[in-house]
Amino acid sequence: MDNKQKMAALAALGILMLMTVGMVSAQQSAADVVNCIICRLLNVLYSIAAGVALIIIVLAGIKWTASGDDPGARKSAKESVIHAILGLVIVLVAYAVIDWAVGGTSGGGFEINLPFSSSCGDVCN
């Protein structure tokens, strides 16, 4: 093998190595994948909590309307509405605290997004 063939082989090998580095740099790290899964899971849980609260509020409203002159049923329906709204507020506050804590530790600053409108676009590439 003469000098020209060695140089051509080394150049071809160098080009192949550059192509490999370009392909590898596009991969996500394990931490990014875990963060994406957690973000999507939390969004599903927030959506379920909002759906359950909505169903409870609607059913309690129907019960309240149908209670007529029964003060016990009216009180029970009113408490159900209040508890559903309090549960939804607790979920929103929990989301805000988690978002603030994660943003503060990762250097993202204090920015609260609505949990039901977030699509994890900044976490999942």
Residues spanned by the domain of 73: 29-105
Q: Tell me whether residue 22 is in a domain.
A: no
Amino acid at 89: V
Q: Tell me whether residue 45 is in a domain.
A: yes
Q: Tell me whether residue 16 is in a domain.
A: no
Q: Is residue 97 very low, low, confident or very high in pLDDT (cuts 50, 70, 90)?
A: confident
Rounded to whole angstroms, the Cα distance separating 98 from 92 reads: 10
Please state, rounded to an integer, the average pLDDT across all residues of the chain.
77
Q: Tell me whether residue 110 is in a domain.
A: no
Rounded to whole angstroms, the Cα distance separating 64 from 40 reads: 36
Confidence check: pLDDT of 122 > 90: no
Q: What is the pTM of this model?
A: 0.61
39-71 pLDDT, tens digit per residue, is 788 878 888 988 999 999 999 999 999 988 899
**What sign for the dihedral angle of Cα 68, 72, 75, 80?**
negative
107-123: average pLDDT: 56
Confidence check: pLDDT of 21 > 60: no
Q: Tell me whether residue 39 is in a domain.
A: yes
Rounded to whole angstroms, the Cα distance separating 96 from 70 reads: 39
Q: Tell me whether residue 3 is in a domain.
A: no
Domain count, the chain: 1
Q: Tell me whether residue 34 is in a domain.
A: yes
